[in-house]
């Protein structure tokens, strides 16, 4: 049995609908069984 896993590390896409749409298209193209995502802010902590 094969399991396709995709992980994404992306900057926060709030206010950037074209980036969110591109991420969505790529996830649909890859058709993973499991996807994990982590978002980060560009602002320092």
Q: Is it the case that residue 4 has pLDDT exceeding 80?
A: yes
Q: Give the C-alpha separation, 14 to 5, whole Å.
A: 25
The answer to whether position 45 is within a domain reads: no
The answer to whether position 24 is within a domain reads: yes
Helix (H) / strand (E) element for 37: namely: strand 34-40
The answer to whether position 21 is within a domain reads: yes
pTM above 0.75, yes or no: no
Q: What is the per-residue pLDDT across 16-42, written as a single tens digit (0 to 9) for each? A: 888 889 999 999 999 999 999 988 776
Number of domains in the chain: 1
By residue range, what is the domain housing residue 15?
5-40
Q: Is it the case that residue 13 has pLDDT exceeding 90?
A: no
């Amino acid at each position: 049995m094969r399991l396709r896993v995709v992980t994404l590390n992306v900057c926060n896409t709030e206010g950037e609908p074209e980036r969110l749409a591109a991420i969505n298209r790529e996830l649909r193209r890859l058709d993973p069984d499991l996807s994990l995502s982590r978002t980060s802010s560009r602002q320092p902590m």
